[in-house]
Amino acid sequence: MNPMQNLQQINLSEKKAKPRRTLNRHAKKRIFIIVMLAYPLLQFILFWGYVNFDTILLTFKSFSWTTGNYTFVGFQNYRSVINDILNNESTKRMLFNSLLYMPINSFVILPLSLIFSYFLYKKIPLSGFFRVVYFLPSILPIVVLTMTFGFIFDSNLGPVNSILKSVFAIPTADIPSWFGSYPTSQIMILVYCVWAGLGFNILLLSGAIARIPTELIEYGELEGITLFQELKNVVIPLIWPTITTTFLLGCTAVFTVLLQPLLLTPDNPYTNTIALSIYNSVIRNGNMAYFATFGIVVSLIGTPIIMGIRRAMSKAYQDVDY
């Protein structure tokens, strides 16, 4: 066979070979997007979808200590929860304690945060010092904050009791047990929430106020408006979406307050909250099906209320792009 025939056979074999498939740029981009979205989507399905679906199923079950398994009981847990909400005193106190955090967050902490943020924006004297003071509780861990707050009001070594004894000559027997007796213990937790909760709100509101165009502020100053008029007529309408978000976060505290009573008043049933009750049920192997039902019932009641508040607040001022 001559070289010419060999070359023809090689060319024929190359033509018969299958062409090598390569991904085009569009296909590679699509695969990259799918891979990047797969992890958060899987995490959402597993840690939100599955957990919530399993929680809903748990509300229709009851744990049997004889068999060690959960059995289907229908709406028995729902009937027990509704009955306790209406008739059980400890459950009523737990709900009352939880509901207290909504007005404290929304009508005490939020207005104070707005006022402080505004005056920090206006660069009042020592504004840098006050900025550090307000932001410090947001930086430190809550365990450190509760330990510090508890030490301040400690019955034996706390500076507050020492001042009351030495300066005001109040007998030891007349000084209240700040974290031991109810309702003083609940009031102290609320005071702590105000002290520690300002920093986060000030951080959000300060960022929103800083985005206001300086031309608007300067125009108001040329017109001779006062600080109160500037706050009311310029600042609040422009940052209203941030105020609405902060207000709604304060409303959701009804369902999320856990560490404050847990760390400041441990094992005190009079300062119990919804989240703390669920936490104790899980830690102490309590009736998890009951508290899962309790959480579902409270969510079904609270979610429409919060959505209604959001809808009403969104109509107060029109959103402005700037």
Tokens of 175: 């000084």
Q: How confident is the model at residue 158 (pLDDT cuts 50, 70, 90)?
A: confident
Tens digit of pLDDT for each residue in 62-91? 888 777 788 899 999 999 999 999 999 999
Query: pLDDT > 90: what percent of the chain?
Result: 33
d(CA 287, CA 167): 50
* Assigned CATH for 97-261: 1.10.3720.10
Predicted pLDDT of residue 203: 86
CB atoms within 10 A of CB 143: 10
d(CA 122, CA 190): 29
Tens digit of pLDDT for each residue in 159-207? 888 888 888 778 877 788 888 888 899 999 999 999 888 888 988 898 8
Model-level pTM? 0.79
DSSP, collapsed to helix, strand or coil, labels residue 293 as helix
Q: How confident is the model at residue 322 (pLDDT cuts 50, 70, 90)?
A: low
Give the mean model confidence (pLDDT) for residues 12-38: 72
